Amino acid sequence: MLLNYKFENYLSFRDSVEFSMMAPKTKVKNRFPDNIISTDKSCDILKTAVIVGENAGGKSNFVSSLEYLRALFQENKTAKAYRSCVNANNDRKGCGKDSNTLQIFDLEILSDDGEFYLYHLEMDFIGIVKEEFSYKNEYRKRYRKLLFVHRKKYELSCNGNEDKCAGKNICKTSGSAVYDINFPEMEPEMEMAFENAVKSPKQLGLFISKLAILGNEHAMKFTEWMRDSLCPETNAINYDLYKSLKSEEEDFNILNDPRYMEIFRMIDYSIIDIEIDEEKPFTKSMIIRKKEDGSTFSRELSRDSSGVREYFAWAVQIYKVVYEDKVVFADEMDRVLNPVLSDRVIAFINGKEHHGQFIFTTHNVLHLDLKNYMKEQIYFISKNVESLESELYSLADFPEVRYETTKIYEFYMKGILGGDCY
């Protein structure tokens, strides 16, 4: 389960961003018992959250920051900050040497077997600057470091000179780094094997990934969680088309699970069955409905409404939350998750016992509802029209907003909660 996430200097976000799924410690959480995952670790964790923001405000950038970080765990590629992904105001003259390309990520999670992990990464366009990995087995205990890596020096060369830069499009730089590596609790044999594994003129990938390959159980658990349990879903096309292009066997297995049907029917209760097409499940499957007179008719999914097609794909992610304990960040569900369907989905997720989490972004202010959400479950993203920089903040940052207050969306529309008027 995700506890806390922080990042800095990614796309439209220049300053530090903080996002938490920790339940409040106040008595207000007693009003929303179904919204909370209670643990035996002296901490309670939120099941759901909603992030509201205007169009082009930075919602997709927030979700893609998690994709950006997760990709470092999924792919064996150089861990570095790409200038195209740093905040535009930090990319001066298109030169990595003169720009602030330092990106910082912090992730805190609770694993399935009750271990707390804290991961910290700093990287610039050369490579990793600092990487730390810590764990503890009790919430109230202090973290114990398993890995501490710090770049103590590096060599850098480029094809420009002090008087004239070669230019952004043809600029070429190369560098090598020397690291201080510390393993407070590692056995000498493994420490020696690790140091041999990272002796290279170039830094290739994360140090924690190498630690996992060498068999460190904590590194293995964390990297597996990053690859398999964290699911940030962003796309520039319709989600149903996106899923059909990926065509993963895992999705096919979910579609054939009877429990999936319970989720999918929330969009239209006249749907009574699905005939899944094995080759093209997200386009050729047949949706079977029951008419008022009791007769049935079927329609190919590709010929159904766009909302049904997209929800057919998104329902797979909701399944993963409830039945596979995944942490799903769902971006751009506005076309599908209207306030009525949103209430059904959130009630379904909250009504089940699980350890998954569902966070979705929207520009529909009607989701601002203190009857279904605690203030800690509602976030806003807003972009400054002059600097073009985004910021993320929580409704919990406004103590003057009380649960007895109605029509929170009106406060937001008027700019009282920091959002720009529509």
Higher-pLDDT residue of 205, 172: 205
| Predicted local confidence at residue 178, as pLDDT | 78
- Residue with the larger pLDDT of the pair 97 and 106: 106
Task: For the sheet with 296-300, list strands across it.
Answer: 271-275, 286-290, 296-300
Overall pTM > 0.75:
yes
Among residues 51, 50, 36, 30, the alpha carbon closest in space to that of 403 is found at 30
pLDDT for 229: 97
pLDDT score, position 413 = 75
Please say if the pLDDT value at position 131 is more than 60: yes
Q: Of 122, 101, 130, 13, which is closest to residue 65 (Cα–Cα)?
A: 13
pLDDT digits (tens, 9 = 90+) for 218-270: 999 999 999 999 999 886 667 777 777 676 788 899 999 999 999 999 999 99
**CA atoms of 147 and 134, how far apart (whole Å):** 7
The string of pLDDT tens digits covering residues 19-70 is 999 999 888 989 999 999 998 888 999 999 999 988 889 999 999 999 999 9
Q: What is the mean pLDDT of residues 179-187?
A: 77
Q: Which of 306, 276, 315 is nearest to 288 (CA)?
A: 276
Hey, what's the torsion of the CAs at 96, 99, 100, 101, to 10 degrees? -20
421 pLDDT more than 50: no
94 pLDDT higher than 80: no
Summarize pLDDT for 309-363 with one digit per residue, the tens.
Answer: 999 999 999 999 999 999 999 997 777 778 788 889 999 999 999 999 999 998 8
pLDDT of residue 60: 93
The mean pLDDT of the chain is 87
Give helix 306-324 / helix 239-246 axis angle, nearest 10°: 60
Query: Who's near 65: CB < 8 A, 6+ residues apart?
Result: 7, 10, 11, 13, 17, 105
Q: What is the mean pLDDT of residues 93-97?
A: 66
% pLDDT > 90, the chain: 57
In the predicted structure, residue 18 carries a pLDDT above the cut 60: yes
DSSP codes, 226-266: IIIIEEEE--SS-HHHHHHHH--HHHHHHHTSHHHHHHHGG
